[in-house]
A = this chain, B = another copy of it.
Amino acid sequence: MKISQLETPALYLDLDAFERNQKKMAQRLNKFKIDMFPHYKSVKCTTIAHMQIAAGAKGISCAKTEEAWDLAHAGIENILIANQVTSLENISRVASLAGCCNLTVCIDDEKNIDDLSAAASFYGTVIHCLVECNVGADRCGVNSKEEVLALANKIAESPGLEFQGIQAYAGQISHELDFTIREKVSIEKENYLKSIISFLNENQILVKRVTGVSTGSVQFRNADTVYTDVQVGSYAFMDASYGKLGLEYEHSLFVLSSVMTVNEKFVIMDTGRKSVGVDQAMPQIPGCNCEEINVSEEHTKLPADVLNAKVGDKIPIIPGHCCTTMNLHDYIYFVRDDKIIDRVEITSRGRSR
Q: How many angstroms from the CA of A167 to the CA of B271 in the assembled complex?
A: 21
Contacts of A327 in B (CB 8 A): 274, 328
- Judge whether A279 and B273 touch: CB under 8 Å: yes
- Judge whether A299 and B139 touch: CB under 8 Å: yes
Known interface pairs A84-B261, A327-B274; A268-B140 also in contact (CB < 8 Å)? yes
Q: Is A109 an interface residue (CB 8 A)?
A: yes
Known interface pairs A41-B297, A87-B8; A143-B63 also in contact (CB < 8 Å)? no
CB neighbors of B among A69-88 (8 A): 83-84, 86-88
CB-nearest residue of chain B to A353: B7
User: Which of B138, B171, B273, B296 meets A139, CB within 8 Å?
Assistant: B296
Q: Is A47 an interface residue (CB 8 A)?
A: no
Contacts of A296 in B (CB 8 A): 139, 171
Q: Closest CB-CB distance, A309 to chain B, in whole Å?
A: 12
CB-nearest residue of chain B to A88: B312
CB-nearest residue of chain B to A41: B297
Contacts of A18 in B (CB 8 A): none
User: Which of B64, B266, B270 meets A298, CB within 8 Å?
Assistant: B64
Q: Is A330 an interface residue (CB 8 A)?
A: yes
CB-nearest residue of chain B to A310: B111
User: Which of B9, B87, B312, B328 meets A312, CB within 8 Å?
Assistant: B87
Please report A residues at the B interface, Cβ cutoff 8 Å. 7-9, 41, 63-64, 83-84, 86-90, 108-109, 111-112, 138-141, 143, 171, 258-261, 263, 265-266, 268, 270-275, 278-279, 296-299, 301, 311-312, 323-324, 327-330, 349-350, 352-353
CB-nearest residue of chain B to A278: B279
- Judge whether B275 and A352 touch: CB under 8 Å: yes
Q: Closest CB-CB distance, A236 to chain B, in whole Å?
A: 16
9 additional contacts, CB 8 Å, given A87-B312, A108-B261?
Answer: A138-B265, A139-B301, A140-B261, A140-B268, A270-B353, A272-B352, A297-B324, A329-B350, A330-B350
Contacts of A297 in B (CB 8 A): 41, 63, 323-324
Contacts of A141 in B (CB 8 A): 261
Per DSSP, chain A at the interface is: loop
Q: How many angstroms from the CA of A313 to the CA of B296 in the assembled complex?
A: 35
- Judge whether A274 and B311 touch: CB under 8 Å: no
CB-nearest residue of chain B to A10: B353
- Judge whether A352 and B299 touch: CB under 8 Å: no
Contacts of A139 in B (CB 8 A): 261, 266, 268, 296, 299, 301
> Which of A41, A111, A263 has the most CB atoms of chain B within a 10 A radius of its CB?
A263
Contacts of A7 in B (CB 8 A): 87, 89-90, 353
- Judge whether A352 and B274 touch: CB under 8 Å: yes
User: Which of B63, B109, B260, B323 meets A311, CB within 8 Å?
Assistant: B109
Contacts of A324 in B (CB 8 A): 273-274, 297
User: Could you list 15 examples of A-B contacts with CB < 8 Å?
Assistant: A7-B353, A8-B87, A8-B353, A9-B352, A63-B297, A83-B298, A86-B260, A139-B261, A139-B266, A140-B268, A140-B299, A273-B324, A279-B279, A328-B350, A330-B350
Contacts of A261 in B (CB 8 A): 84, 86, 108-109, 139-141
Q: How many angstroms from the CA of A296 to the CA of B140 in the assembled complex?
A: 12
Contacts of A301 in B (CB 8 A): 138-139
